Structure 1
């Protein structure tokens, strides 16, 4: 199975991982870091899963759909948390939520295609 059929999802996963890492870093700079703990944790988990999914898809792996299902779930959870903080004006959380939603949609397409 060629990795080319996964290219859009790979790109979305890489973009999401970058956005999540950036969000976690910015959350650590917030005045009330403890309030941001769940956001930071989900950012880190989502970034790790996005990187893993991109790597597995780049291999053309038969496990791509399974990992994409997990990645989509993590992206949706991260987006939900980030959207709460985005409503309070945190731009990095808004950007992260957008990247997570786009990645979740791309991963869901891969997960349901198999």
Structure 2
């Protein structure tokens, strides 16, 4: 894999992490927080795996394929949850999650 290819994945991971953190924070401020429990939980899971995977790629992990598979799965789940909510922050998060899942899948050997 070329450095440029990893760089685009790293950028997608970082953007997804930031979108999930924003969505998490915004969902906690909504009046119907109990209706957002699934979204909030997946936002945390997704932000955490994206941040970890970004670091792992940067340090040359030998587990690229394995981590990419897990990350893609979590990003897809988070995106599917967020797209069910009509708030702008959820829609933007879903978009970032789906983009990241696609980027991660490009690394699966």
Question: In the alignment, which residue of structure 1 is the partner of 2:57?
Answer: 57
Structure 2 unmatched runs, 5+: none
How big is each residue's C-alpha offset from its partner over 1:15-47, in whole Å with a ceiling of 9 and x where there is no partner? 000000000000001111011001000000000
Task: Give the whole-Å Cα distance in 1 for the aligned partners of 2:104 and 2:29.
Answer: 30
Task: Give the whole-Å Cα distance in 1 for the aligned partners of 2:76 and 2:4.
Answer: 25
Misfit runs of 4+, over 3 Å: 1-5
Question: In the alignment, which residue of structure 2 is the partner of 1:37?
Answer: 37
Aligned residue for 2:84, secondary structure, equals helix
Paired residues in the alignment total: 109
Question: In the alignment, which residue of structure 2 is the partner of 1:101?
Answer: 98
Task: Give the whole-Å Cα distance in 2 for the aligned partners of 1:91 and 1:106.
Answer: 23
TM-score, normalization: structure 1? 0.90
Aligned residue for 2:35, secondary structure, equals helix
